[in-house]
Structures are given as C-alpha cells and as structure tokens.
Amino acid sequence: MTLRILAIDDSRTMREMLKSSLSAAGFEVHTADDGLHGLDRMAEVDPDVVITDINMPRLDGFGVIEAVRRGTVRPRRPILVLTTESAPELKSRAREAGATGWIVKPFDDQRLIGAIRRIASI
C-alpha cells in the first residue's frame, strides 16, 4: 500500500521539494498552500500522514492540527510539523494540540522519510 501524504506549506519551493523528495521515496504526495486549503484537501485526499508548516496565512499549523484532531474522520492520523521554528514553547504547543512529531527546516530527505515511515506505522 502506498502512503498518501498531504504536505501543507505556503512556500511553493518547499511544496515542490517535499513532493519531489517524497514521491521519489514511493509516497503519493498531495499539497496545499495554506492551512485552510489543507483542510479542504483532507476530504478528497484522505491522507495517511499530514505534514504541516506552522507559519502560514489564513490558518496556521496549530489550527490545522487542532481541526484534524477535532474532526470525525481519522482524527488520530499522524501529523508531522515541518517548520523553521525551533522554540521549545512552540514544540510544546504543537504537542499539546496533537502533533505526532516535529522536524526543523531545512529537512534531510532520509530523516524525513524515516520519520514518516515510523509515524505511519503507529
């Protein structure tokens, strides 16, 4: 079974890097350009794993995490935060909201792929 990934990031370059890297690793990758767009895509994509940035217009990553966890369809699906932020209080806030993991940009392809495989098997 191919894992479906929804990558939510307001940076086109980051979305393209994620799509290229994760597609090459055998994942089915879908993208969204901010949190609201990401929530809209959830129903059509039904991702196995969500990757979200924190700082985005319209709806930030915390809002995405909270909305997924409040939802009725697969609310426990893994959510990986991929962001330039590294402050402990932001990591704590993401964990409390329900994030499964946190990776700081720039990301290492193999580390990200390994993290996705680990959290997808939870």
pTM (2 d.p.): 0.95
3-state secondary structure 7-62: EECCCHHHHHHHHHHHHHCCCEEEEECCHHHHHHHHHHHCCCEEEECCCCCCCCHH
- 4-120: CATH architecture: 3-Layer(aba) Sandwich (3.40)
- pLDDT tens digits, one per residue of 33-57: 999 999 999 989 999 999 999 999 9
Q: In this model, does residue 122 exceed pLDDT 80?
A: no
- Would you list the domain boundaries of the chain? 4-120
- pLDDT tens digits, one per residue of 12-37: 999 999 999 999 999 999 999 999 99
